[in-house]
Structure 1
Amino acid sequence: METLLPNGTIVLLKGGNKRLMIYGRKQLVTGEEEDIQTQGEEISEQTMYDYIGVPYPEGYISQEYTYAFSHSDIIDIIFRGYEDQEEEEFQKILRQV
């Protein structure tokens, strides 16, 4: 995948029944961040995920309700977040990470 979805995008994950809103991309999760939920993956030292999201429409509740996931975990894109020239420039940076 060349381009990550923009912040504000609403998605549904495989096996999920609650929509999530993406609020961060290229997230490095360490084993110390026990409250962040992942798609059933074991976190050893550090794991890079494409996205970090929160339940929609609630938004951020606590770190316990924060989810790290990758693009391959998404089964449906409900709404695509805002994109402009600044987002396009940022996508160039994200491709290098």
Structure 2
Amino acid sequence: MKKRILLVVQALVIGSLLIGCSSSTSSKEESKELKSTDEAVKVDTTELLPIGTVMKLKNVDKAVMVYGQYQKNVSNNITYDYIAVPYPEGNVSSDYNMFFNRNQIEKVLHVGYVTPESRKLLKNVQQQIDGTKSQ
């Protein structure tokens, strides 16, 4: 009988702990909800921006997210500063890839993740671009 009462008490304690955890988790999730904004981020668009950067382009209604820099469009053999996909949809198909240059950026909405490694890569890519332009 004592074991049965002990098991019932343990079950009630565990149950109430689980209920408390789930309600506190959901309230934390609700408070973490991202707020949508179209406010521009202050950034120098003449410099190459990292992968993951979300921006609005001139004469384009949809925001785009950068997934590559210094990319060649094989259909016209032209090299562009960036290749991007529609945001938030992402890579729908290659038909939705967008090639563009820095001068087409209207505003930056979010700057992508930056690490020492990504800074070094961007610097190397910029050197390649500068070398190509000087030839």
Q: Per the shorter chain, which TM-score range?
A: 0.7 to 0.9
Shift of 1:88: 1.3
Following superposition, which runs of at least 4 residues in structure 1 exceed 2 angstroms of deviation? none
- Taking the TM superposition and a 5 Å limit, the aligned residue runs for 1:20-39 are 20-31=64-75
For the residue of structure 2 that corresponds to 1:4, the secondary structure is coil
2:56 aligned partner, one-letter code: L
Shift of 1:78: 0.5
Greater strand proportion: 1
Whether 2:116 is the aligned partner of 1:72: answer: no
For the residue of structure 1 that corresponds to 2:89, the secondary structure is coil
Identity rate of aligned residues, in percent?
37
- Taking the TM superposition and a 5 Å limit, the aligned residue runs for 1:1-97 are 1=46, 3-31=47-75, 43=76, 46-97=77-128
In 2, the alpha carbon distance for the partners of 1:16 and 1:94 equals: 26
For the residue of structure 1 that corresponds to 2:123, the secondary structure is helix
Residue deviations 1:18-62, cap 9 Å, x none?
Answer: 00000000001123xxxxxxxxxxx3xx21100000011110000
For the residue of structure 2 that corresponds to 1:60, the secondary structure is coil
1:93 aligned partner, one-letter code: N
Greater helix proportion: 2
Structure 1 unaligned runs (5+)?
A: 32-42
- TM-score norm. by structure 2 comes to 0.59
Structure 2 unaligned runs (5+)?
A: 1-45, 129-135
1:72 aligned partner, one-letter code: N
Tell me the number of residue pairs that the alignment of Structure 1 and Structure 2 aligns.
Answer: 83
Of structures 1 and 2, the one scoring higher in RCO (CA 8 A, sep 6+) is 1
Q: What value does the CA root-mean-square deviation take over the aligned residues?
A: 1.0
